[in-house]
C-alpha cells in the first residue's frame, strides 16, 4: 500500500531580516491572533497589528490563499485606527479581528484597547468585499474599569438553529457570549451576556482569552477553544464542549470552565497544543489565540506561534484537526501541507518515532521522547515497554505495560502513559523538510499526545 504524502510546501525562512521592510513578503510573518474566513474566491486571514523590527502600521493585516499553504500579502483593511476606537480606548493598534459573511455583506469585528486595560471596545466595519473598502458601523460593545468583562477578542457565529451570537472577553472578567441582531450585527440584549469561562488569576500570566466556538453537527456539541496563560511565553490552547451554545462548557473530566473553586486551575480545560520542541529543528513558544476553519468535512486550527530562538517573531500556523470517536478534537503535530487522512499498512509504521505529551500543568516547552515500534508488535521507550497495533488502518493503538513515570534514561520530556490512541496522517515534516507519518490523540489520563516517525526500519 503506497502512502500519498503531501508535496513539499514553500520553505519559509525564519527570522529573515531581509523582509522587515518589505510587507509584500510577509506571508506567514507578523501574523498574530489570526482569524480565518473562507470565501468563493479563496481563504483570508485577518490579524492583529504587529511588526518585528520597526514601527507598526495600524489597520488590520490581510492575507489570502487558495490552498491554506501558500499565503500572499494583501495589505491593510483600514487606513488606521477608527476615530471612535481612538477616542474610547486610545488604541495604537487593532487586535484580533474576526470577519464573517452575512448574505452578500462582510462584517469585521475588531478590538481596540491598550495592554492591561479594560477600557476597551469591539467595533464593527462592513464591506461588500473581503478586501474592502470598509464602512465604519461604530461600536458593538464597550467596557471600562468596574464593568467586569473586557470588550476584546470577538468571534461571531451561528448556532444550530441559525441564531447569531458573539463570544468575547479576556482574563478581566472571563469569557462571555450574547445574541446578536442580524440586521445590525450588534447585541440584541442589554448587558454583557452569559459567562462561559474564567480563571481565578485576572492577570496576563493566568489569562483565559481568545475565545472561539465551533459547532460539530455529528456530535451535536459546541466546542469552546480558549488560550491560557501569557501570550509572550507559555500560551496554550484549551477546549471544552457544551450541549448549548451558551454553556455550560465542560472538559473531558467534567470540570466546568467557569469553576473558580477547583484546584489546580491549570487542570481545567483540555489542553490540545502548547509550546513544544521536537528533537530536530526549531521549537515553538506560546502557540495560541486560534480560530477554526470548517471546510466541508475538514477542520483546521489556525493560530500563531513564536519562534524559540527569538519570540518577538510571531508566525502563522495552520494544522489539520481530526476528531476522536468520543467527540474530541485532536491537532496535527505538523503544520498543514495538503495532507489527507488515508489508510496505512502496519509495516509502514515500524521504526523509530518521537513523542510529545502536553501536560496541562507544564509551562515549559514540551520535549520529545524517543520510542520504537518494532516489527513483532512491541513498543519500547527507554526502560518502558508495551505493545502496538494498527486499528482500522488509520489509528495507532499503544498499550504500555508499566505505570506512568517521569522521563528516564536521560531523556527530556514526559514518558508515555497507559493506553494511547493516535489518529495517523501522512505529513510534511517542517523541522526536517521531508515527508513523515504523524499521530495525534490522547492517553489514558487525557493528556494530548503527538507522535512523529523519524524513519522506518522495516
Q: Does residue 340 lie in a domain region?
A: no
- Choice among 49, 98, 153, 209 that is catalytic: 209
Residues 290 and 160 in one domain: yes
Whether 8 maps to a domain, the answer reads: no
Is residue 354 located within the same domain as residue 423?
yes
* Neighbour-count burial for 249-266, b at 16+ CB within 10 Å, e otherwise: bbbeeebbbbbeeeeebb
Cis peptide bond N-terminal to 248, omega within 30 = yes
Coil, strand or helix: which one is 204? Answer: helix
Last-in-domain residue among 331, 359, 377:
331
Q: Does pTM surpass 0.85? A: yes
Instruction: State yes or no: pLDDT of 59 exceeds 60.
Output: yes
Cell (9 digits) for 278: 521536537
Residues 411 and 323 reside in one and the same domain: no
Q: In what order do the strands lie in the sheet with 329-331?
A: 329-331, 314-323, 298-307, 284-295, 276-277, 366-367
Residue 7 lies in a domain: no
Residue 410 has a pLDDT of: 38
Residue found by looking up cell 481563504 in the block: 43
CA distance 79 to 60: 9
Instruction: Tell me if 122 sits within 8 A of 141, measured CB to CB.
Output: yes
What is the tally of structural domains in the chain? 2
Same domain, 304 and 171: yes
Q: Which grid coordinates belong to 58?
A: 495600524
Instruction: Assess whether pLDDT exceeds 80 at residue 205.
Output: no
Pairing of strands 369-373, 378-381: antiparallel
Residue 179 domain boundaries: 31-331
Contact between 151 and 207 (Cβ < 8 Å): no
- Give the end of a domain, one of 331, 364, 386: 331
**143 φψ region: left (φ > 0), alpha (ψ -120 to 50), beta (else):** beta
CA distances from 234 to 136, 157, 205, 345 (A): 35, 28, 8, 38
| Residues 264 and 355 placed together within one structural domain of the fold | no
Is residue 209 annotated as a catalytic residue, yes or no? yes
Residues 313 and 365 in one domain: no
User: What CATH number has the domain bearing residue 229?
Assistant: 2.115.10.20
Q: Is 33 a catalytic site residue?
A: yes
Closest CA to 341 of 351, 354, 352, 330: 330
- How far apart are the C-alpha atoms of 251 and 330, rounded to whole Å? 14
DSSP 8-state class, residue 86:
H
How confident is residue 351, by pLDDT bands cut at 50, 70 and 90? very high
How many angstroms separate the CA atoms of 145 and 297, rounded? 43
Catalytic-role residue among 33, 98, 334, 431 = 33
Q: How far apart are CA 407 and CA 381, in angstroms?
A: 10
pLDDT in tens, 132-188: 999 999 999 999 999 999 999 999 999 999 999 999 999 899 999 999 999 999 999
For residue 337, give the DSSP letter.
S
> Using one digit for the tens of pLDDT, what is the confidence trace for 362-375?
888 999 999 999 99
pLDDT tens column, 103-136: 999 999 999 999 889 999 999 999 999 999 999 9
| Choice among 22-36, 196-210, 280-294 with the minimum mean pLDDT | 196-210
Bridge partner list, 293: 300
Amino acid at each position: 500500500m503506497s502512502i500519498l504524502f503531501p508535496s513539499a510546501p514553500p520553505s519559509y525562512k525564519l527570522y529573515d531580516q531581509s523582509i522587515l521592510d518589505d510587507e509584500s513578503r510577509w506571508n506567514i510573518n507578523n501574523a498574530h491572533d489570526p482569524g480565518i474566513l473562507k470565501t468563493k474566491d479563496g481563504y483570508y486571514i485577518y490579524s492583529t497589528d504587529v511588526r518585528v523590527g520597526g514601527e507598526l502600521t495600524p489597520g488590520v493585516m490581510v492575507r489570502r490563499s487558495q490552498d491554506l499553504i501558500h499565503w500572499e500579502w494583501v495589505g491593510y483593511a483600514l487606513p488606521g485606527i477608527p476615530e471612535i476606537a481612538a477616542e474610547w480606548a486610545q488604541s495604537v493598534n487593532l487586535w484580533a479581528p474576526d470577519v464573517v459573511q452575512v448574505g452578500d455583506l462582510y462584517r469585521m469585528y475588531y478590538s481596540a484597547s491598550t495592554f492591561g486595560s479594560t477600557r476597551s471596545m469591539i467595533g464593527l466595519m462592513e464591506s461588500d468585499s473581503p478586501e474592502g473598502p470598509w464602512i465604519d458601523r461604530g461600536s458593538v460593545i464597550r467596557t471600562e474599569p468596574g464593568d467586569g468583562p473586557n470588550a476584546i477578542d470577538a468571534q461571531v457565529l451561528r448556532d444550530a438553529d441559525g441564531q447569531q451570537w458573539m463570544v468575547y472577553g479576556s482574563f478581566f472578567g472571563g469569557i462571555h457570549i450574547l445574541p446578536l441582531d442580524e440586521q445590525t450585527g450588534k447585541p440584541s440584549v442589554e448587558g454583557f451576556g452569559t459567562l462561559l469561562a474564567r480563571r481565578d488569576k485576572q492577570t496576563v500570566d493566568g489569562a483565559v482569552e481568545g475565545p472561539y466556538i465551533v459547532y460539530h453537527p455529528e456530535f451535536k456539541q459546541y466546542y469552546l477553544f480558549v488560550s491560557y496563560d501569557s501570550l509572550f511565553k507559555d500560551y496554550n490552547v484549551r477546549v471544552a464542549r457544551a450541549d448549548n451554545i451558551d454553556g455550560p462548557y465542560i472538559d473531558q473530566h467534567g470540570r466546568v470552565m467557569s469553576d473558580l473553586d477547583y484546584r489546580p486551575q491549570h487542570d481545567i480545560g483540555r489542553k490540545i497544543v502548547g509550546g513544544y520542541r521536537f528533537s530536530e529543528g526549531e521549537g515553538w513558544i506560546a502557540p495560541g489565540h486560534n480560530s477554526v476553519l470548517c471546510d466541508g468535512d475538514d477542520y483546521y486550527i489556525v493560530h500563531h506561534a513564536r519562534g524559540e530562538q527569538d519570540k518577538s517573531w510571531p508566525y502563522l500556523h495552520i494544522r489539520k484537526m481530526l476528531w476522536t470517536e468520543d467527540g474530541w478534537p485532536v491537532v496535527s503535530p505538523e503544520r498543514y501541507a495538503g495532507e489527507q487522512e488515508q489508510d496505512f499498512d502496519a509495516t509502514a509504521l515500524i521504526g523509530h518515532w518521537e513523542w510529545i505529551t502536553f501536560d496541562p500543568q507544564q509551562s515549559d516547552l514540551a520535549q520529545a521522547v524517543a520510542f520504537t515500534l518494532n516489527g513483532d508488535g512491541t513498543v519500547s521507550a527507554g526502560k518502558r515497554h508495551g505493545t502496538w497495533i494498527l486499528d482500522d488502518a488509520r489509528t495507532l493503538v499503544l498499550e504500555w505495560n508499566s505505570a506512568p513515570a517521569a522521563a528516564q534514561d536521560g531523556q527530556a520530556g514526559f514518558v508515555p502513559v497507559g493506553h494511547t490512541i493516535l489518529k495517523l496522517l501522512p505529513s510534511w515534516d517542517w523541522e526536517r523538510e521531508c515527508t513523515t507519518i504523524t499521530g495525534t490523540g490522547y492517553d489514558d489520563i487525557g493528556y494530548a499526545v503527538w507522535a512523529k516517525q523519524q524513519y522506518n526500519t522495516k
